[in-house]
Amino acid sequence: MKIADEVVEKKRKLDALKAKIRPGALDNLDSVQRIDITYTSNAIEGNTLTAGETALVIEKGITVSGKPLKDHLEAVDHARALDWVIEIGMQGRVPLRETDIRTLHQLVVAKSKPEIAGRYADTVRFVNTSAGAHHFPSHVDVPTLMKDFTDWLAEADDTPEIAFEAHRRLVGIHPFNDGNGRTARLLMNLILIRGGYPPIAIRPEDRPEYTNALEAGQAGGDYGAFHDLLYRRLDHTLDQYIAAATEAARSDHRIAVADQMERAQALAKALDLPRAMDTAEALEWLKWQPETEVHYQGPAEQAGIAAQIASAAERTTLYEASNVPVATIGRVIRFKFKNDAPLWAIQIADQSAQTLFERASTDSLRDLMFENVGLTAQLVRDANERQQAGQQDGEERAAKPKRPSGSSFTP
């Protein structure tokens, strides 16, 4: 499998993991990456701050003794530019304009070189290469070249291949007097973020391979080596995020299990059950208590059980923490009531369901409880109609079932 295909497959895996973990689970890695991208991008251009010093400057605002002021300003500039890139990248597919790239450059050199911030080059530009001095396009042609570039970018997809090509195309135009490399790497990461990929860092140890690959393309060769390097960096970054997301998913699972046990214990305590048990076990216990030899099976008893569970859920706020207890209540209330179900039992179930319906915090829970309320309300109406028609059996309606000890409702 080609590395480009492997990257796509790893992104799918990361997306699937992200769907399973809580929001913010990867914030720490995002923060570390933010520092690393700023450190590495500046280091490639000759900045002398270490990774630790870069973090101190960005996060604490501390001045590092013995290091040039310019290096501090470059760190602050790049960090703010990266924040802007992340914010814009998360907004989705909005065509990038020429002014966006100039804004990006303005942020890159806002404090370190404010006199050129966001302004196209006004002088000739050369760079030393292994083959000698390389002359970039004339500054006179920059506006036209940038218009063509952004027109192409507006129609291109947000894929790694496009991100890498945009990087090397912008470097090839070299539209600014300084800061072109940092701007190009940030533009690349902006496109990656819009495509759902994490931003990547090109490390100082990658510099020889990185510059040689760019020079080879600028000398008329292909950019295969350049794209290969960037794919490897993206592949490595995806591995980091997949590992972190996998760990977060395991942690979330452990927390979920612990929460489930806590809810089960709360339910057991509320119902005066002999031990902690899950909701399904609680229902079985309510139907059968060996010590009292009371066996609940009839429709009236089922309505009473529904009321007990609903009451316990209200007291322990279980309905707010998870839809599982509410779903269980729904299943109990939706038992097949017989027409001879006592009116008092139906009314209790109806009242409990109505209370939960009014207090449910999400649309899905409200929809669930609405179904239950509608059912029990209809049962109440039917019972009243039978009573008015003289069709009720008084003795049958007056009978009340024995309840389990510790029962919390009063008919």
Rg of the chain (C-alpha set): 33
Helix (H) / strand (E) element for 224: namely helix 224-270
Tell me how far apart the alpha carbons of residues 92 and 346 are, in angstroms, rounded to a whole number. Answer: 52
| Nearest residue to 265 via CA among 256, 277, 254, 253 | 277
Check if 227 is active-site: no
Which residues does 234 contact at the CB level (< 8 Å), separation at least 6?
A: 7, 160, 192, 197, 200
Contact 372, 378 (CB under 8 A): no
In this structure, the dihedral spanned by the alpha carbons of residues 87, 229, 144 and 137, taken in order and rounded to 10 degrees, is 130
Tell me how far apart the alpha carbons of residues 110 and 117 are, in angstroms, rounded to a whole number. Answer: 6
Tell me how far apart the alpha carbons of residues 286 and 372 are, in angstroms, rounded to a whole number. Answer: 20
Q: Which of 135, 174, 253, 295 is catalytic?
A: 174
| Nearest residue to 185 via CA among 67, 90, 43 | 43
Both tokens of 121, joined, read 């080059």
Which residues does 195 contact at the CB level (< 8 Å), separation at least 6?
A: 157, 158, 159, 160, 163
Counting Cα atoms < 13 Å in the Cβ hemisphere of 111 gives 13
Q: Where are the alpha helices (DSSP H) in 90-129?
A: 98-108
Helix axes 363-388, 323-333, angle to 10 degrees: 20
Phi/psi of residue 289, nearest 5 degrees: -120, 100
DSSP structural state of residue 24: T
Tell me how far apart the alpha carbons of residues 231 and 3 are, in angstroms, rounded to a whole number. Answer: 7
End-to-end Cα distance, the chain? 69
251-260 CB contacts, 8 Å cutoff, 24+ apart? 251/25, 252/20, 252/21, 252/22, 252/25, 259/321, 259/322, 260/322
- Residues designated catalytic: 174
